[in-house]
Amino acid sequence: MQNISTNIDEALALLRAGELVGIPTETVYGLAADAARPEAVAKIFTMKGRPADHPVIVHLAGKDQLSDWARDIPDSAWKLAEAFWPGSLTLILQRQPQVPDAVTGGQDTVGLRAPAHPLTHELLRRFGGGLAAPSANQFGHVSPTTAQHVYAEFGERLPLILDGGPCLVGVESTIVGLTGDFPTLLRPGGVPREAIEDVLGITLVHHEKPAEAKLRVSGLLDSHYAPRTPLYMGGLRRLEDEAYRHLEQGKRVAILHRSPLAGGVCGLESHQMPDEPEAFARDLYATLRVFDEGRHFDFLLLETPPQTPAWLAVNDRVKRAAVGILT
């Protein structure tokens, strides 16, 4: 792992030369390039195997740079940036005309966020410009929450991975769209929906369709945030029954649970997940990676998290990671 380091000078030199750098943020690690250079941004898509029409978030040092990238900025954007930046909130705004199509996927809008991780904040402050960065994983795979996870995705193909330790939030930023008639929650994430609604004094519009639609169509594995080992969710008793049945048939199964397991049956691998939504979010992707590694299991079973507002971001991610729900 020759390319993992904490050297900001080296990261700056590479980014200024149009190269890619893995960067820590408080949510997940990003795969960063100079957002002003289309040829640098293009390398992100090649490395990730990501369709070129997917827009990427531009990371900034702070709200002073908002108007370099966005125009017709509504009051709501300034309020949210004031309240949550640096932090886990991405704002979708009308783009300035010079923002490259490579960043916006050819759309009129741009996603902007000032991450809170101190190493990357310092990097952005010294860089001065914006860094285009999606999560540093192969397209559709589980997002990385350590420098070693980024290495596991891209190895030595990436010139440098800045090591900022494990991510404290563990799921991606909350995305709020501010270009329509009403502020819209486009992706639940690190900043709770209620905190945003408190600042704006309104209820966010939220359409939960995509992940749910996937679950109803069995066999359609539109995997996103997903381990390579098939993951099923359900109530714990249902999962235990399923696990024992498959163990008897010689299958290798692991249960990731929050509630206590009913019985100690030999051969069943299990892992206790945190009982509290922030801690659960922080551990989720790392745990999925551990159980996915080496494909030791035929499938993974995850106890469905509580369906309360505090678990919104976690539920969004686990639904996308799962291939189905056992009912």
172 lies in the site for ligand TXA, by CB under 6 A: yes
Residue 11 or 301: the one with the smaller Cβ distance to ligand TXA is 11
Taking the least distance from each CB to Mg ion, the nearer of 34 and 172 is 172
* Nearest approach, Cβ of residue 261 and Mg ion (Å): 32
255 and 270 Cβ atoms separated by less than 8 Å: yes
Q: Under the criterion CB under 6 A, does residue 170 sit at the interface with ligand TXA?
A: no
Q: Is the preceding peptide bond at 115 cis, omega within 30 degrees of 0?
A: no
- Part of the chain binding Mg ion (CB under 5 A), chosen from 122-130, 132-140, 189-197, 226-234: 132-140
Instruction: Please give the residues from 123 up to 152 whose contact with ligand TXA meets the rule CB under 6 A.
Output: 133-135
Q: Which one of residues 3, 94, 109, 223 is an interface residue with ligand TXA (CB under 6 A)? A: 109
315 binds, among Mg ion, ligand TXA, none (CB under 5 to 8 A by kind): none
CB 134, min distance to Mg ion, A: 5
Residue 37 touches which member of ligand TXA, Mg ion, none, C-beta under 5-8 Å by kind: none
Of 53 and 275, the one with the shorter C-beta distance to ligand TXA is 53
Looking at 110, 114, 185, 196, which residue binds ligand TXA (CB under 6 A)?
Answer: 110
- Does 120 contact ligand TXA by CB under 6 A? no
Which of Mg ion, ligand TXA, none interacts with 109 (beta carbon under 5 to 8 A by kind)? ligand TXA
| Residue 94 found at the interface with ligand TXA (CB under 6 A) | no
Residue 135 found at the interface with Mg ion (CB under 5 A): yes
In whole angstroms, how far apart are CA 307 and each of 166, 231, 235, 312, 316? 27, 19, 12, 7, 11
List interacting residues with ligand TXA (CB under 6 A): 25, 27-28, 30, 54-57, 90, 92, 104, 107, 109-111, 113, 115, 133-135, 172-173, 175
List interacting residues with Mg ion (CB under 5 A): 135
